[in-house]
Structure 1
Amino acid sequence: MRHPSLVARMAVVGSILFAFYAVAAVVAMGAFGAPLWLVLVGSVLFVGVQYKVGKWAAVRSVGAEDLPEDRYPEIHRQVESLCEEMGIEKPRLMIARMGVPNAFAVGRKGAGTVVVSEVLIRTLDGDEVEGVLAHELAHIGNRDVVMMVLGQGIASIVAIVAQWAVLLTGDNDIADFFLAIVVGQVVQLFVMLFVFAISRYREYVADSDAAGAIGSGEPLARALEKISRGNERASDSAVDEQVNALCISGQDRGLARLFATHPPIEKRIDRLRN
């Protein structure tokens, strides 16, 4: 699965995120007096550690456990068949109590993990589950999950550096403390705007890939309808904001469309059916 448009968008967003990260490293170097070589080595190591931690944190945040093959043989069979069709290795399969019908993927080709909720398995029919699995496998195959996890991490780092810059250049009073919080939030949101843009586009691409893998967009369209209704009825969700951006269906609460991590589900369903 090669998508030049997605690859180009990820390259542009990745370059922008790297620029933000480089500025944060220079600011940190000036603030703490660290030598350039230490900042460069530390930055590279920190990015690698952050990717590993981000993947681990996403899975842990929903209390995911391995999906037993003896209890869910059909899901394992579907994934094995889809992986062969898509040309990727079978990822680790996990199940979680998210409180809502949802699923997400983390990792990359050869080291991916797909997490599905218990509610999703109970709610969807077999072909609809297959559509969701194909969607998540497409994310792993397209390597866009790596961009999402790193993007969220870089936004957090840049925000922290911005907060420290305010504190170190101010009078260190209570006003500076609250100003640092506000600046950190604004900076993080600004950096995340670029991540949100790629997040919305990658959902359309994964939907298209899933429809191609299973031979039709209808099962995934029905799945999205049921997932949307399930999310609307749910009174409680164990999915936090960072994992929400990785899920097949986002729960964007009260924010403008500019800040949404997912395109409108109605548009996704229309595309799958048309």
Structure 2
Amino acid sequence: MARIAFRLATATVGIVLLAGYLAAAFLVFDALRVLWSLRPGTAELVGLLVVATLGSAYLSYRFGTARLLAAVDADPIPRERAPELHRRLDALLTRMDVERPVLYVADVRAPNAFAVGGSGGGALVVDRSLFRLLPPRELEAILAHELAHLETNDGLAAAIVDGLVRTVVGILTLATLPALLALSGLAGGSAWIRGRPGDRSGAFARLHRLLAGGLAAGFVLVTLLARTRSRRREFAADDRAAEVTGDPLALARALRRIDRTADPVWPFAPLSTHRDADDPLERWLSTHPPTAERIDRLRRRAEAERPRRGREGWTGVPVR
């Protein structure tokens, strides 16, 4: 008798659960159908989505700069406080196509520097510890690297890519939401009706996992593509800094010093540095290539340039 009562109870719960999920799936589907019927022409719809995505990315990029500066409690560095730093920045700007950024100093719990904004004016933030850690030539190389990001508007491009990724993932999630709800209800409801509430081995549960896994895999794939682009931009900024300063080894030594000193748990680590990791997934998801790889590229560049110009511009200090 108790067993029959239990089965009746679980069957009732299963039916209610199934009905609730199917009703929710139908409501979402009907709402999407209504929205689709009200859509403009295909060209207008695509244009609207592109404009909305770009506008959202630009606003996030603009307001994000102010939020980031406030988050690290950055203070402007007036010329009278650091005349040599400003002089080196001025010299770099004469060789680069970028407007003068505002220099800031901050305590970000790790030796680092990062740039926010674009070629039309931005901000360059330097952690206080870099002034103690790096000699002037190496600090100049770090400034050149960050100016290279401003010169090519890497921050805006990254915001646009991120906005496109979020838009695509959002549209796909909305489009598949009715199916996800229906499959979840069918999987959970049928399990309760069978008297096995925790059983998720049925066909509906497998279909739900397959669809949800496909969405997750798509998100991971586009994220990996975006991170791959970010790592390429780091190499490009290294090359540009080496070109502008004429001293690839200065940047290589600076990266080595920062890598040896930096704490990998500080909140803004992805902005400027990457601690080498053995986990392939961590390396794929990183916004920066391994520091050792960046240093090796700069050393090879220095070796390739040395026969062409002799020892001019080379400090004679090896990378250790």
Give yes or no for TM over 0.5: yes
Using the TM superposition, give the Cα deviation of residue 156 of structure 1 relative to its aligned residue in structure 2, in angstroms: 2.4
Is the CA contact 1:131–1:220 (under 8 Å) kept in the aligned structure 2? yes
Give the equivalent residue in structure 2 for 1:12: none
Shift in CA distance, 80/40, structure 1 to aligned 2, threshold 3 Å: same
Q: Deviations over 1:165-205 (max 9, x none)?
A: 332333365879x9687655433321122222222222222
Residue 57 (structure 1) aligned with residue 72 (structure 2)? no
RMSD of aligned Cα (Å): 3.1
Residue of 101, 113, 116 corresponding to 1:91: 101
Unpaired runs of at least 5, structure 2: 1-30, 189-204, 301-320
Using the TM superposition, give the Cα deviation of residue 118 of structure 1 relative to its aligned residue in structure 2, in angstroms: 2.8
SS across alignment from 1:114: strand
Bigger radius of gyration, 1 or 2? 2
Shift in CA distance, 71/165, structure 1 to aligned 2, threshold 3 Å: farther
Is the CA contact 2:92–2:144 (under 8 Å) kept in the aligned structure 1? yes
Runs (4+) of structure 1 exceeding 6 A deviation are 28-31, 178-181
Residue 35 (structure 1) aligned with residue 40 (structure 2)? yes
Using the TM superposition, give the Cα deviation of residue 235 of structure 1 relative to its aligned residue in structure 2, in angstroms: 6.5
Distance 2:126 2:212 in 1: 35
2:61 alignment partner AA:
G
2:283 alignment partner AA:
R
Q: Deviations over 1:94-137 (max 9, x none)?
A: 33332222222233211333222233333222221111010011
Is the CA contact 2:109–2:266 (under 8 Å) kept in the aligned structure 1? yes
Shift in CA distance, 169/145, structure 1 to aligned 2, threshold 3 Å: same
Residue of 52, 62, 77 corresponding to 1:68: 77
Unpaired runs of at least 5, structure 1: 1-27
Shift in CA distance, 160/225, structure 1 to aligned 2, threshold 3 Å: same
Superposed counterparts of 1:136-215, under 5 Å? 136-171=146-181, 185-215=216-246
Taking only the aligned residue pairs, the percentage that are identical comes to 33
Residue 46 (structure 1) aligned with residue 53 (structure 2)? yes
1:152 alignment partner AA:
D
Superposed counterparts of 1:217-228, under 5 Å? 217-228=248-259
TM-score between both structures, scaled by the size of structure 2: 0.64
Aligned residues: 239
Residue 257 (structure 1) aligned with residue 283 (structure 2)? yes
Residue of 285, 290, 299 corresponding to 1:273: 299
